[in-house]
């Protein structure tokens, strides 16, 4: 079956606000390749435009074997911006661009070096399967504290992205014989839609007894309320107890 001709745009970026703009005209996927030299020290941002005038952050997935230098990003973990500072920086970033008129790469901060940016687009399937088939958790936070202390598990804020939480496990480990009480323990959260709270009864648990609360949000995950915002799970002071909180999550728009 015939398909549209592939398009390529190339430019060298070496100043703040320098950019390369690529016309898409019906293309479905794009690969953005950055090749920095001369100790390239800058922050790049990738954006798309539906009307060709107004731009917004565009979710991209690194292609692992073609992304080297500095701290190489994970192939299954999306980004819209990255600060780099290394003698050699190479990045291959994959994006879904269907319905957009243009895509651009812009330097939002610059200190030294230069970067040749090449953008290829066509109507073929993207080379990174995570562009259209995001499933696996790529990040996990595990938090604990000493006996009888509160603990907060914090998913750090990421510029332009929000957390997609796949699973939360809260474990209460009794280090002493607990005293039963009618008032339950409330475990609170922030940046989860609906301000989710978990309830754990104060039973008379014995030494070495664990109780676990699990929230499993399935293959789609639970989207955090806001982008560029930390998400937290907060366990309060509980005498005779060690808390452990594990959170598996992904990043997305």
7-131 and 139-252 share one fold: yes
**Predicted pLDDT of residue 68:** 86
Give the domain 7-131 fold: Jelly Rolls (2.60.120)
Q: How confident is the model at residue 129 (pLDDT cuts 50, 70, 90)?
A: low
Query: Domain spans of the chain?
Result: 7-131, 139-252
| Domain 139-252 CATH assignment equals 1.10.150 | no
Q: How confident is the model at residue 69 (pLDDT cuts 50, 70, 90)?
A: confident
Angular region, 165: left φ>0, alpha ψ -120 to 50, beta rest: beta
Q: How confident is the model at residue 1 (pLDDT cuts 50, 70, 90)?
A: very low
| Look-up of token digits 């950019």 | 19
Q: What angle do CA 73, 70, 130 make, to 5 degrees?
A: 15
Angular region, 25: left φ>0, alpha ψ -120 to 50, beta rest: left
**Predicted pLDDT of residue 203:** 87
Q: What is the pLDDT of residues 144-168, one digit of tens each?
A: 999 999 999 999 998 888 899 999 9
Residue 59, Cβ density class (10 Å: 0-12 exposed, 13-18 middle, ≥19 buried): buried
Quick one: which of 96, 90, 52, 97 has its CA closest to 73?
Answer: 90
Average pLDDT estimate for 117-122: 94
């Amino acid at each position: 079956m015939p398909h549209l001709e592939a398009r390529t745009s190339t430019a060298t970026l070496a100043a703040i606000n320098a950019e390369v703009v690529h016309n898409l005209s019906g293309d479905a996927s794009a690969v953005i390749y950055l090749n920095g030299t001369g100790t390239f020290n800058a922050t790049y941002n990738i954006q798309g435009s539906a009307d060709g005038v107004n731009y917004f952050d565009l979710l991209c997935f690194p292609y692992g074997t073609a992304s080297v230098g500095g701290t190489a990003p994970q192939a299954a973990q999306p980004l819209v911006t990255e600060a780099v500072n290394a003698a050699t920086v190479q990045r291959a970033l994959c994006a879904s661009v269907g319905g957009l008129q243009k895509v651009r790469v812009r330097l939002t901060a610059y200190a030294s070096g230069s970067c040749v940016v090449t953008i290829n687009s066509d109507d073929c399937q993207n080379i990174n399967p995570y562009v259209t088939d995001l499933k696996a958790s790529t990040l996990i936070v595990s938090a604990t504290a000493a006996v009888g202390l509160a603990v907060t598990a914090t998913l750090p804020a990421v510029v332009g992205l929000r957390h997609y939480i796949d699973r939360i496990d809260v474990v209460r480990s009794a280090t002493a014989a607990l005293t039963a009480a009618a008032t339950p323990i409330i475990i609170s959260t922030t940046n989860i839609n609906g301000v989710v709270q978990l309830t754990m009864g104060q039973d008379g648990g014995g030494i070495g007894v664990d109780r676990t609360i699990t929230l499993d949000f399935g293959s789609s995950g639970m989207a955090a309320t806001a982008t560029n915002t930390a998400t937290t799970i907060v366990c309060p002071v509980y005498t005779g107890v060690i808390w452990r909180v594990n959170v598996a999550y992904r990043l997305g728009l």
